[in-house]
Amino acid sequence: MGRREKPVEAAEPALRRLAEWLREQRKEAKLTYRQLADRTNYHPTTLQRAAAGRSVPSWKVVEAVVRECGGDLKTARRKWSQANYWAHVPHPSRTRRLRAPRRVDPEQVDSFADLRRAMHEMRRKADWPSLRELDRRARDRGARLPSSTLALVLKGEAPLRKPVFLAYMDVCGVKEARRALWAAAWDRTNNARTPLPVNSRTYHSEFVRAMQSSSAGTPTDTLFRLWMTLRTNLAAERDEGPAHPAAAGREGTDDNPSLLV
């Protein structure tokens, strides 16, 4: 009689359920790990580790075990996908999650945390390719996705730059129409966290916009504050900055906007 297996000690519930289910499949088939190894061509230690719950096994190992034990491959795929998903997605504030997050809608994204969560979902739908595999696919397309950089991005420890985001979606097989929506979500999120430069050009745009909408009910005190701020800011820029040598004759351009004040 073989030794009893140690209890599954997986901290992640989804990984623990997968390991326990794999053990049940083997026991119901009345196979030892050595017998299972002869049928699957995997080493007994590899099969024991797959059911230990310490890490997520590869899908090929899970598929081989379930197939030889006569289990349901559809159930196996679902349990493996859940375990793999939660192994890659960090829990916010180290709290235990109660259920899988809902699908992220690109039109409702308002943070880079949502974008990273969507990236995990894209990778899951692509059958969890390794970071090296993603970099290889990107190289074939003339781009770069260094695995070390991508790992930091997915953990939220490095900024998510747009070229990386676009290349990532491409190698994960995201459809072009969806990529356009996600690109717009990145632009919207990035613009929301990047303040406009506070200078005379900024206040001039705001002043013109307020003047154009004054007939719709823009308060007079708002117009007055914008006008005063614009004059003060423009005077400060003229005092601090060097004169533009080509400023003459360029009124109304972006470099020297005409001010009706």
3-state SS class at 204: helix
| pLDDT at residue 175 is higher than 70 | yes
Report the candidate in 146, 135, 147 with the shortest Cα–Cα distance to residue 171. 135
Residue 126 and residue 170 in one domain: yes
Residue 113 and residue 187 in one domain: yes
Residue 125 and residue 184 in one domain: yes
Angle CA 70–75–79, to nearest 5: 120
Q: How confident is the model at residue 102 (pLDDT cuts 50, 70, 90)?
A: low
| pLDDT at residue 24 is higher than 50 | yes
Domain-terminating residue out of 133, 164, 193: 193
Instruction: Determine the structural domain holding residue 81 and report its residue range.
Output: 13-88
Domain membership flag for residue 253: no
Residue 20: is it exposed, middle or buried by C-beta count within 10 angstroms (0-12/13-18/19+)?
A: middle
Among positive and negative, which fits the CA dihedral 75, 76, 81, 83?
positive
Report the candidate in 51, 16, 17 with the shortest Cα–Cα distance to residue 36. 51
Total structural domains in the chain?
Answer: 3
What distance in Å separates the CA atoms of residue 85 and residue 124, rounded to the nearest whole number?
7
Residue 170 and residue 207 in one domain: no
| pLDDT at residue 127 is higher than 90 | no
Residue 188 and residue 125 in one domain: yes
Given this model, what pLDDT does residue 238 score?
62
Domain membership flag for residue 67: yes
Q: How confident is the model at residue 140 (pLDDT cuts 50, 70, 90)?
A: very high
Q: Write down the H helix ranges in 89-175.
A: 112-125, 131-140, 147-155, 162-171
Residue 134 and residue 161 in one domain: yes
Report the candidate in 89, 94, 114, 7 with the shortest Cα–Cα distance to residue 53. 7
- Which of 90-99, 110-119, 165-174, 182-191 is the most confident on average? 165-174
Domain membership flag for residue 141: yes
Residue 21 and residue 83 in one domain: yes
| pLDDT at residue 184 is higher than 50 | yes
Given this model, what pLDDT does residue 138 score?
93
Domain membership flag for residue 236: yes
3-state SS class at 33: helix
> 249 vs 22, which has greater pLDDT?
22
Across all residues in the chain, what is the average pLDDT?
Answer: 76
pTM as predicted: 0.49
Residue 110 and residue 140 in one domain: yes
Given this model, what pLDDT does residue 163 score?
93
